[in-house]
């Protein structure tokens, strides 16, 4: 997958989450026509995601979800038409109808987008120590349970990845799910939170229910600090927040006999609620890569690009990108490709990515950790 496709997928997934949330809110409010409109937007986004997938299995799953979403929109539009007709008939001028209970029915669509990642550890440049740690603590116990049981070591169901933004926590988790062959659910904190009492706790329960229904499954939650923040400065959690964290703790405790692995990520480990922190069997720091790691990341991103092998010196580039995260390095390669493309247009003959393009891209790209640390 190209860098452009990867970025487009991220944008589409965020749009899907936004449209799905608005569709469900409209549905709960009885605004069937509005809900239908956003379910159609969801279906369109999932269709576009299907076009970006590289495996037939995942394309098929996307298409099936898009079809379900379109059917949900059809059902809601029909319901809106019936409601409009009933409101104009005798004895129904108050807007009620004999089918009022049906308005509360939920549309039978997958709430959470369950995927089968088409990447594995071989697609991850660098991060060798982290890959070894994840293999030893998660993959090996699942593949050799009897051996680990003899040493009193069980499987790991909860993993907390912590470190600065852009260090690859999300990507390595997708690759982990792909390496294990697990179904995969990816969430952000705002997929769960709600100001309505009880709703956030229900959202948490729904996630774990979806994961258990799709076992073996890996769930990834980014920015867990947003839903499991330690109380400080005398500020108390709202009732909704308290119910949510209580539900989360309960659900995490229930994973012992399941093939569900819950991986959470945070940039702010010191803000995690103590009880939530203890639910994670493994807590792993994900720092920015060292020189060898940066070289591997650059090499991986350049793998499918036209490169002037004679001029590109990855060792030199790795030495001069201290403090750059994997996401920064991806931007550098993308910018270098644009520079080479511009050279091709200006010179009239094809120009592969050369050292000069990469050096210029490094000079034009600030290390994101500088802004983070400041």
pLDDT tens, residue by residue, 64-75:
788 888 888 888
> In the structure encoding, which two tokens stand for residue 244, read together?
């949510």
Q: pTM for this structure? A: 0.64
346 has a pLDDT exceeding 70: yes
Is the pLDDT at 19 greater than 90? The verdict is no
Length of the chain equals: 374
What domains lie within the chain, and their CATH numbers?
3-110 (no CATH), 121-285 (3.40.50.300), 291-373 (1.10.8.60)
| Integer Cα distance of 117 and 183 in angstroms | 7
**What pLDDT does 88 receive?**
60
pLDDT tens digits, residue range 103-120? 333 433 355 666 678 788
Buried b (16+ CB within 10 A) or exposed e, 60-78: ebbbebbebbbebbebbbe
More confident residue, 158 or 75: 158
In the numeric block, the tokens 């929109």 are attached to: 73
Tell me what the pLDDT averaged over the chain comes to: 81
> E-strand spans in the chain?
114-115, 158-162, 183-188, 217-222, 260-266, 282-285
> 293-328 pLDDT, tens per residue?
999 999 989 988 999 989 999 999 999 999 899 889
Surface-to-core class of residue 9, CB atoms within 10 Å of its CB (0-12 exposed, 13-18 middle, 19+ buried): middle
110 backbone φψ class: left, alpha, beta (φ>0; ψ -120 to 50): beta
Strands 183-188 and 217-222: parallel
Supply the pLDDT for residue 111: 56
132 backbone dihedrals φ, ψ, rounded to 5°: -65, -40
Render pLDDT for 217-227 as a digit per residue (tens, 0 to 9).
999 999 898 88
Is 338 in a helix, a strand, or coil?
A: helix
pLDDT (mean) for 262-267: 93
């Amino acid at each position: 997958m190209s860098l452009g496709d990867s970025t487009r997928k991220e944008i589409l997934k965020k749009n899907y989450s936004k449209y799905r949330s608005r569709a469900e809110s409209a549905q709960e409010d009885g605004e069937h026509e509005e809900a239908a409109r956003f379910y159609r937007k969801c279906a369109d986004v999932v269709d576009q995601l299907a076009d970006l997938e590289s495996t037939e299995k995942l394309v098929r799953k996307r298409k099936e979800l898009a079809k379900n979403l379109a059917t949900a929109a059809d059902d809601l539009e029909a319901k809106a038409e019936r409601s409009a007709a009933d409101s104009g008939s005798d004895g129904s001028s108050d807007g009620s109808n004999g089918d009022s209970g049906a308005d509360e029915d939920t549309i039978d669509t997958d709430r959470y987008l369950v995927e089968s990642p088409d990447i594995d550890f071989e697609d991850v440049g660098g991060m060798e120590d982290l890959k070894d740690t994840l293999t030893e603590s998660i993959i090996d116990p699942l593949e050799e349970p009897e051996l680990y049981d003899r040493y009193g070591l069980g499987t790991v169901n909860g993993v907390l990845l912590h470190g600065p933004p852009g260090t690859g926590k999300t990507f390595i988790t997708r690759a982990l799910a792909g390496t294990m062959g697990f179904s995969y659910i990816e969430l952000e904190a705002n997929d769960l939170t709600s100001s309505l009492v009880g709703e956030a706790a229900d959202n948490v329960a729904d996630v774990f229910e979806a994961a258990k229904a799709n076992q073996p499954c890996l769930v990834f939650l980014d920015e867990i600090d947003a839903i499991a923040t330690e109380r400080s400065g005398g500020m108390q959690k709202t009732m909704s927040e308290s119910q949510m964290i209580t539900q989360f703790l309960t659900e995490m405790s229930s994973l012992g006999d399941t093939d569900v692995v819950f991986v959470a990520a945070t940039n702010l480990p010191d803000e995690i609620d103590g009880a939530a922190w203890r639910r994670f069997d493994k807590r792993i720091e994900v720092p920015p890569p060292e020189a060898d790691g940066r070289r591997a990341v650059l090499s991986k991103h350049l793998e499918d690009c036209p490169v002037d092998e004679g001029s590109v010196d990855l060792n030199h580039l790795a030495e001069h990108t201290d403090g750059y995260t994997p996401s920064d390095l991806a931007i550098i390669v993308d910018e270098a490709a644009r520079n080479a493309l511009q050279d091709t247009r200006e010179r009239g003959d094809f120009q592969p990515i050369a050292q000069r393009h990469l050096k210029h891209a490094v000079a034009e790209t600030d290390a994101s950790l500088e802004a983070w640390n400041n």
